[in-house]
Amino acid sequence: MVNPALRGILSTVGSTPLVELERFSVELDLQVHAKVEKFNPGGSIKDRTAVAMLLDKLHTGELDPARSVVVESSSGNLAIGLAQLCRYFGLRFICVVDAKTTGHNVKILRAYGAEVEVVTTPDPETGELLPARLARVRELVATLPHAFWPNQYANPRNPQAHERTMREIVTALDDPVDYLFVPAGTTGTLQGCGRYVRRHGLRTEIIAVDAVGSALFDPAPPPVSRLIPGHGASVRPRIHDASAPHRVVHVTDLDCVAGCRALVEREAVLAGGSSGAAVTALHRLAPSLPRGSTCVLVLPDGGDRYLDTIYSDEWVVEHLGRVPDLWADVAPVLSGAN
């Protein structure tokens, strides 16, 4: 049995910095802070989830580097978190992705030693790639001896991991958190933070940041295509709990781009699309929040993985029609349009 303690590079998962967003604080008359998750060694908040889902299995011996195979369908941050962890412990990892996964992410996965399987044929019934990916995972799990599927959409360890995320936020601040803005995909972060808040009787209002067109909190989502990954989901995950957030803000892909660009322009923080979504959600709600409220934004990953999309004017114009006008799109309240 391997030593399952968090050592080496894995000892740096979590304990990410909480930074004040000073310009936003002044402009919005709020105390704004950001939990900057790109400082995790794999570059995102999903390192926490990867560790939480696999570590106890290593501890009990259920996962054994001599024979176990980890199989997961993920095209982004969780895949990278798992690839890093599996490399560290010498576990074989098969990652099932589809043609939409960026070449950059596939290269990162392979660099960590993951075996990447690309599914190119959509599910015959739905015409979608996700069910085809999941079908391939099920097939691998059924046929490979000692295969383990962490399944972040159903695994209770996913939300559990983020009770610590919220504890870190709370202990880093002198003031109580009034509003927490959390991008929601599997809803693991949202639920874990919410559970910590309830357990400790805190007054924090949890605001889920979701995508327009996502089925997470909208029973009849509009049929819009979503190009920016991370937040939003086409089906409700098994761990879903509709009562987890106090409020939900829905944002478009263009809102994400506008939020990302405002964040880098004002605060020099280069972040991913769901972080931009949180920035825009904050600006939308800001006029209705009491002055001086303490707001925390969870920024799940960095911007380096989005240079060819969110930070490319050509891509944005081609796919979203126009480059956002920062202050008109993110903060009409600041530009006087409201």
The residue ranges that bind ligand PMP (CB under 6 A) are 44, 46, 76-77, 183-190, 230-231, 272, 274, 300-301
Least separation, in Å, of the C-beta of 57 and ligand PMP? 20
CB of 184 or CB of 320, closer to ligand PMP: 184
CB of 267 or CB of 301, closer to ligand PMP: 301
CB of 267 or CB of 334, closer to ligand PMP: 267
Least separation, in Å, of the C-beta of 142 and ligand PMP? 25
CB of 25 or CB of 102, closer to ligand PMP: 102
- Beta-ladder partners of 94: 71, 115
Least separation, in Å, of the C-beta of 29 and ligand PMP? 27
Least separation, in Å, of the C-beta of 274 and ligand PMP? 3
Contact 34, 21 (CB under 8 A): yes
Least separation, in Å, of the C-beta of 214 and ligand PMP? 11
Least separation, in Å, of the C-beta of 190 and ligand PMP? 6
CA–CA distance, 74 with 226 (Å, rounded to integer): 17
Q: What angle do CA 217, 228, 326 make, to 5 degrees?
A: 100
CB of 221 or CB of 293, closer to ligand PMP: 221
Least separation, in Å, of the C-beta of 174 and ligand PMP? 27
DSSP state letters, 68-130 = -EEEEE-SSHHHHHHHHHHHHHT-EEEEEEETTS-HHHHHHHHHTT-EEEEE-SPPTTT--HH
CA–CA distance, 182 with 281 (Å, rounded to integer): 10
CA–CA distance, 48 with 165 (Å, rounded to integer): 9
Q: In what order do the strands lie in the sheet with 92-98?
A: 115-119, 92-98, 69-73, 147-148
CA–CA distance, 330 with 338 (Å, rounded to integer): 12
CA–CA distance, 322 with 314 (Å, rounded to integer): 9
CB of 71 or CB of 334, closer to ligand PMP: 71
Q: Number of helices and strands (H, E) in the chain? A: 12, 10
CB of 276 or CB of 324, closer to ligand PMP: 276
The set of residues, in sequence order, having a beta carbon less than 8 Å from that of 125 and lying 6+ positions away, is 131
> What secondary structure letter does DSSP report for 16?
-
CB of 44 or CB of 294, closer to ligand PMP: 44
CB of 16 or CB of 293, closer to ligand PMP: 16
Give the side-chain half-sphere CA count within 13 A for 180: 30
Least separation, in Å, of the C-beta of 325 and ligand PMP? 24
CA 99 to chain centre: 20
Instruction: Write out the H or E segment, with its range, that includes residue 251.
Output: strand 247-251
